Structure formats: structure tokens, C-alpha cells
Amino acid sequence: MVGAAGAALSPLAALLHRELINRPVVHADETTLKILNTKKGGKSCSGYLWAYVSGERTGPSVVCFDCRTGRSHEYPENWLQGWGGTLVVDGHKAYRTLANKVPEITLAGCWSHARRGFADLYKISKDPRAAIAVKKIAGLYRLEKKISSRPVAKIRQWRQRYARPILEDLWSWLEEQEPQCSPGRALHKAIVYALSHRVELSRFLEDGAVPLDNNVCERAIKNVVLGRKSWLFAGSQMAGERAAQIMSLLETAKRNGLEPHAWLTDVLMRLPEWPEERLAELLPLEGFTFSG
């Protein structure tokens, strides 16, 4: 059933992929996925489900999943082939390797990820220095909440005027604290992580379309993680790819206010007779019209 639906929907998934790589801002993340290896007697091996989500200020939401057997830079490099823009990511080394290899790709860091090291430490130890870091980062989010509905150009202006001083104060404080911390301790690791990703974590200042964090992609991954508890593994590499295509379309439908299964049922009924040159009309984006 999934295989047949995946095959039918494959052309739409390809169009959705094309829509994504036309966006100037893309989020990326990945999570583990067990894949049965049919060449090894059905034993499972570790695979990865990569998620790519369009920037929220770049048009209707697009979500694409890609099932692969590894976690190195070559996988996003292949998926994003020909694309140039800002890639919003966490600290996974593969993304830096990708950006170093492809000059058209600029990385933006995730403040939610950088904050987590300090927040987790404070929960465990109540370290006052961790609390100070969390409070300073919160200043960035308070400003972002105030300006989130403004045009992209205005967001950039406000960030330059108000977020930059907050950020400069935070960097100065982190640089002051780093030599006072014991190497290897949780606080030191959190500080070093932030400072070593300073360029990426400052990128949002220069572009109002770039968000503070990668949460939009982490939410897409979370839905997969919840579903993974039910289906456990992909039956093969091909099955994983088909499932990824279906999940891409359903998650995109959900993000654009369409009931996913209603969209799926409607489109599967129309696809056999639908003209190929009008296939884009069936994408689960704003403007989609149900039949009947």
C-alpha cells in the first residue's frame, strides 16, 4: 500500500523538492532510522532521515524528508545540489564541511541549540553563570517576539539596532568566562560551543529572513520520532525513500493548513487522469483546491 502510494506520489515529491531548492533560506536536521538490509538476511542497520524545511519568511511552507544510510556531508550536498542560500542548522560537523565545499551555501546557527547547554546545566546544578547566559540569550528571543510580524527589511533594521548590542554583550561575557572554567566541565563545553559557532550564530543579524534557531526543522523531526515508535523501521532503502516522499507531502500539507489525509485521498483519486503539465496544482501548498 505504502509502496504503491509512494510510486504514484513520486512525481509530486520531486516537484516539492524543486520548490524547496528555489527558497533562499532552508533549515536542515537529521534523525536516526533503522533500515532492514535485505542483503544481510533482513538484519537492520542504522540509517538517517534528513529533514529540510523552507524558511518561514520565504513563502508557503515546504518540508522534504530524505532517507539515507549515512550522516556525512555528501547527503545534504546531493540533496541540495545546485542550491545556494542560507542553511539553518545545529552544530553537526557535516554542515560545516558542506559549506566549506560549496561556497554558495552560508550557514546560520541555532540559538535554541546553543542555549540548551546552559539551560540543562542550570536545571541540574543551579549554576548562576548558566542562569546569566540563559537570561542574556532570552533577550534575543524577547526582541524577536516583538518584531516577528514585521517585514523582513524592518526585522533586519531592528536586529541591527537592538539585537546586536545584546549579542556583543553576550560574546564579551562568554569570552570573559571561558578561561575561568575548568576544561571538560559542562559550563566550559557550553561556552566553547557558542564561541566556536560565533559566526553562524551571528548570521541572523544580516538577514531578516533568517531566524534565531532551527526549531521549525526540529518540529518536523519530532513528528517523525513520534511516528517511529509505531513503525519501528523501514523495510528497505527503497521503502525508506518512498516513506520519506509520502511524509514530505503530508507534513507540507499540514504546515499549509490542509488536512493531510484528506489531501492525500483527494490527490490519489485525481492523479491517474491528471495532466502532467498541471501537476504543480496538486502540491499541498497555499492555493490547493479540493475536487468536488
Per residue of the chain (292 residues), what is the pLDDT tens digit?
Answer: 555 777 899 999 999 999 999 999 999 999 988 765 655 555 666 789 999 999 999 999 999 999 998 999 999 999 999 999 999 999 999 999 999 999 999 999 999 999 999 999 999 999 999 999 999 999 999 999 999 999 999 999 999 999 999 999 999 999 999 999 999 999 999 999 999 999 999 999 999 999 999 999 999 988 777 766 555 455 566 677 888 999 999 999 999 999 999 999 999 999 999 999 999 999 999 989 999 7
Query: What pLDDT does residue 43 have?
Result: 60
Query: What pLDDT does residue 84 have?
Result: 98
Query: What pLDDT does residue 3 have?
Result: 58
Query: What pLDDT does residue 38 have?
Result: 58
Helix (H) / strand (E) element for 107: namely strand 105-108
Domains by residue range for the chain, with CATH: 2-108+214-282 (3.30.420), 111-206 (no CATH)
Beta bridge mates, 105:
85
Say which residues have a Cβ less than 8 Å from residue 199's Cβ, sequence separation at least 6: none
Q: Please state whether beta strands 63-68 and 43-54 pair in parallel, antiparallel, or not at all (unpaired).
A: antiparallel
At 14, give phi and psi (nearest 5°): -65, -40
Predicted TM-score (pTM) of this structure: 0.92
In 135-195, where do the E strands start and end?
none
Query: What pLDDT does residue 57 have?
Result: 94
Q: What is the C-alpha separation between 59 and 279, in angstroms, rounded?
A: 19
Helix (H) / strand (E) element for 25: namely strand 25-37
Cell representation of residue 73: 556531508
DSSP string, 41-104: TTEEEEEEEEEEEE-TTSSS--EEEEEES--STHHHHHHTTT--EEEE--S-HHHHHHHHH-TT
